[in-house]
Chains A and B, each alone.
Chain A
Amino acid sequence: MSEGTYIRRPNRALGIYAVVFLVVLYLPILFIPLFSFNQSIHVRLPIEAFSLQRYHDLFRRPDVWNALGNSLRVGPAVAVVSTVLGLPTARAIARHRVPGRSALVTFVMLPLVVAGIIFAVALLIFVNRLGVPLSLSTVALGHLVICLPFAVATLLPRFEGFDEALVEASAGAGRNPVDDLLAGDVAERAARRGGKPPADLHGLVRRIHRGAVPVGNRTHAAHPHLDAAAVPARGALGPGAVHPHPAVLGRARLCRASDRADRRARDARGRSRRAMSGAGVLISIRNAVKAFGRLVAVDDVSLDIRQGEFFSLLGASGSGKTTLLRMIAGLEATTSGEILIDGRPMSRVPPYRRPVGMVFQHYAIFPHLDVRGNIAYGLRRQGLSRAQSDALVEEMLELVKLPGYGARRPNQLSGGQRRRVALARALILRPRVLLLDEPLGALDRQLREQMQIELVRFQRAVGITFVFVTHDQEEALTLSDRVAVMADGRVLQVDTPDGLYEAPQSRRVAGFVGTMNFLQARVAARSAEGATLEIEGLGRRDIDAGCLPRHAGGALCLAIRPERLALRRSAPDAGVPAVAGTVEARVYPGERSHYHVRVAGRDAPLAVSAQNASRLQDAPVGEGSRVWLTWGDADLIPLDPD
């Protein structure tokens, strides 16, 4: 495969055709100026002698100048009048969606539909009956009648485009994709009740948003397949799938050495939980590079994705995560390197022969097919009978909780339903791996959390490897068995969610996943057990060798999570590591409080996060309060230099 996106690969035959087409288009016209220099009055090739005689004649003939003047008067006049008349007409037709609208449009477009000669003849008779002599004005009137529909036809789509996007937005409706989605679901709910959907869906949605309509039933109604009782609490999904809140983990001693042991234990748990014993590698990416011209989107990535795993590619936009996903699908050719699926090199396998399924960011549901046609799309090649394929489709519709939706058209589906159709369409082919490109990107927070739970449950049910692209670190940690953090086309770290959170290897990973305090430190003295560090803001500490990076030089960077710093109102006992500071700012989002604490010896304040105690216990720590921060030295994470 050549370089470039699969769909847009250059097509030489088509390119040659296009050039030949243009030549044929222009050639006849180019002969006109050529023959204008012909001395003979015969159209004969080859031209025997050239002369400027014709042009010379033209300039001396007053009738030529007269005709030219007429053209120059009629043309602009008709153009101006058509535009002036057509503009308000187009605007009026676009704005007023009255019942007679289509009849009106047909009337205005009539001259386009009826052959020119009929018009010419009709106008000729008209003018003749009026007794008006034929003149330049009658010519202009004829042109105006023919041109006006063109003006309206070109302007109409502009005004119609306007209407939808700008006018409603400027009216302050505050519409967003979620509104559309909810509106669809409200309609669906109404339809199930046997009633008609409320006429003003957007109005209803807006009222819901403002709280005018009780919302207690809303989330439930929006996802009828998600029984409230069946939705497990986040913690119940296990540590691998849903990252427990850091506070739940307690203050386990975590530094690099002990963390490795922890991780081994977690991996073992994960394997037994998922019956992934001997967890085979399904996708092996080896030194994959993707360059678009001089831009390197994926830069020497090597990764192994295991059989049955929920694997996420996490990164900011432009980090190369989507490109990598598309390389696995074959939609982007690899510039160099190799991708193996089931041990088979994929570079010569076209995307339509790879054992992958894909859910696109906006689902890519075929609008010209109904739900059944969409889901059965890929079955065509398998040579199934109509009955067999219908049975399979029904089975998939059950699985994605859309029974009875087979005959629906895509435009009758809500966003959530479209996503499920996209899942069914990919999974009916039993792919070895399902690639998902930010499928939850457009949803709001609440809806997305529900979809996340749904997705994890679904993946368990079908047991297919999922590779999931997201820019949302919380989403990646919540869903995945393992996460690869990407930046600038490179993989920074591949780890389990808690591994990434508790033991980030580099400053970029640490900064990308959650909030982090970065502290510059200097080695003041070394000993057999470790080293004495001078830490910015925290003072002088003795640190175990096990917690230090192997290649720590004179200076290094440490990190500590805000929740690992404890806030106290009074000075702690001697011997407990502590530093005094002043609360500069406090944010209270609910469950926890976030503080900015200014300490001596450091420019930026330290971020501190504390669980909010009982509201009756004591008054909150206000801004300006004098406080002490304490920590465990094991909570200091040494980072690789970037």
Chain B
Amino acid sequence: MAPALVVLAIGIVVPAAILVTMSFWSRKGLGFDMTPTLANYRRILDEPIFGAFLARSFTFSGIVTVLTVLLCYPMAYYVAFHVNSRKMLWIVLITLPFWMSYLLRVFAWKVILGYEGVINASLLELGLIAEPLQVLLYSQTAVIVTLAHAWAAFAILPMNVSLEKIDRSLLEAATVLGDGPATRFLRVTLPMSMPGVLAAVFLIFIPTMGDYVTPALLGGPDGAMIGNLIQLRFGPVNNWPMGAALSVVLALWIAAIAAVFLVLNRTAQSRLA
């Protein structure tokens, strides 16, 4: 295991250390002033835009996560309980789109949501609207829809695994003990699939928090997220120390959320052990 640890150390620990160090520097001309300062962090606290973007990212990710988990749970349930002989086919069908490039899937939504895209063209054709809708693309909705679509497999797979693991005789026991289908679902299936639901929440929430590709391509001014703010610091704005500080704040923020999930997950796991 040593080589893997070396790679991870070089790939994670050293860059992270440099990132943290740089967050205490400041910009000087085209180079850096390496005197340690808290100025970047102070700016993040003082200027409301950073807090607002962090909050917006949190909201976006939250909506995307809840939406994806809610929409994917029935699918995971269907594959676990109602597909018998061709289970593998369904799993492959669900995961196949995710073998394609993320960028490609984001562009696909541009085609659907665009000013002259599939939805607007169809609605015009049907005579339901007179002018193409402008709210579809370059909006918060576009970002949320695209992210939910892009992360569906990550929600379905863990939930499907934990649903598959439920011993069918437990459901039969609940039935014989007097539970109808709805009660049985609420009292046995749902609590026993909680580890999968938590894993799905975890797997979607964290990457979407820091996503910058989708907002950059589909978000427009209202759809930008904290990731775009960081990206700008390393690109056009060219303030690397500020970008590093923002990254550190985002990392801490995510770590705090992850810690909450981990505790929840551990509780769920130990209850089902």
In the bound complex, what is the Cα–Cα distance between A398 and B188 (angstroms)?
26
Total residues of chain A contacting the partner, CB 8 A? 84
Contact in complex: B273, A28 (CB < 8 Å): no
> Is the CB of B163 closer than 8 A to any CB of chain A?
no
Mostly helix, strand, loop or mixed at chain A's interface? helix
Given A118-B19, A364-B169 in contact, is the A14-B111 Cβ separation under 8 Å? Answer: no
Contact in complex: B192, A351 (CB < 8 Å): no
Task: Give the most central of A14, A91, A356: most B CB within 10 Å.
Answer: A14
Given A7-B175, A145-B11 in contact, is the A17-B104 Cβ separation under 8 Å? Answer: no
Task: Give the most central of A88, A145, A364, A409: most B CB within 10 Å.
Answer: A364
In the bound complex, what is the Cα–Cα distance between A148 and B3 (angstroms)?
11
Instruction: Find chain B residues with CB under 8 A from A462 CB.
Output: none
Q: How large is the interface on B (under 10, 10 to 19, 20 to 34, 35 or more residues)?
A: 35 or more
In the bound complex, what is the Cα–Cα distance between A93 and B8 (angstroms)?
15
Contact in complex: A25, B149 (CB < 8 Å): yes
Contact in complex: A429, B178 (CB < 8 Å): yes
Contact in complex: B250, A115 (CB < 8 Å): yes
Cβ-neighbour of B176 out of A14, A129, A148, A357 (below 8 A): A357
> Is the CB of B174 closer than 8 A to any CB of chain A?
yes
Cβ-neighbour of A122 out of B18, B169, B171, B255 (below 8 A): B18
Interface string of B103-115 (1 = CB under 8 A from A): 0110111111010
In the bound complex, what is the Cα–Cα distance between A360 and B203 (angstroms)?
36
Contact in complex: A32, B108 (CB < 8 Å): yes
Cβ-neighbour of B7 out of A42, A144, A352 (below 8 A): A144
> Is the CB of A15 closer than 8 A to any CB of chain B?
yes
Interface string of A269-310 (1 = CB under 8 A from B): 000000000000000000000000000000000000000000
Q: Within A8-55, which residues are at the interface with B (CB < 8 Å)?
A: 8, 10-11, 14-15, 17-18, 21-22, 24-29, 31-32, 35, 42-46
In the bound complex, what is the Cα–Cα distance between A44 and B178 (angstroms)?
57
Given A42-B116, A44-B121 in contact, is the A118-B11 Cβ separation under 8 Å? Answer: no
Contact in complex: B116, A7 (CB < 8 Å): no
Contact in complex: B212, A117 (CB < 8 Å): yes
Given A25-B152, A117-B231, A364-B173 in contact, is the A352-B116 Cβ separation under 8 Å? Answer: no
> Is the CB of A350 closer than 8 A to any CB of chain B?
yes
> Is the CB of A425 closer than 8 A to any CB of chain B?
yes
In the bound complex, what is the Cα–Cα distance between A148 and B8 (angstroms)?
8
Instruction: Find chain B residues with CB under 8 A from A17 CB.
Output: 74-75, 78
Contact in complex: A362, B1 (CB < 8 Å): no
Given A22-B93, A31-B108, A121-B19 in contact, is the A141-B210 Cβ separation under 8 Å? Answer: no
Instruction: Find chain A residues with CB under 8 A from B143 CB.
Output: none
User: Shortest distance in angstroms between B211's beta carbon and chain A's nearest beta carbon?
Assistant: 7
Contact in complex: B152, A88 (CB < 8 Å): no
Contact in complex: B243, A121 (CB < 8 Å): yes
Instruction: Find chain B residues with CB under 8 A from A169 CB.
Output: none
Chain A residues at the B interface, C-beta cutoff of 8 Å: 6-8, 10-11, 14-15, 17-18, 21-22, 24-29, 31-32, 35, 42-46, 85-86, 88-89, 91-93, 107-108, 110-119, 121-126, 129, 141-142, 144-145, 148, 152, 329-331, 350-354, 356-358, 360-362, 364, 366-368, 377-378, 380-381, 409, 411, 425-426, 429
5 contacts between A and B (CB under 8 A): A28-B149, A110-B8, A121-B234, A351-B176, A368-B191
Known contacts A26-B97, A111-B12; 14 further A-B pairs (Cβ under 8 A): A17-B75, A21-B71, A32-B111, A88-B4, A108-B8, A110-B12, A114-B254, A114-B255, A118-B247, A125-B15, A144-B7, A145-B12, A360-B172, A411-B273
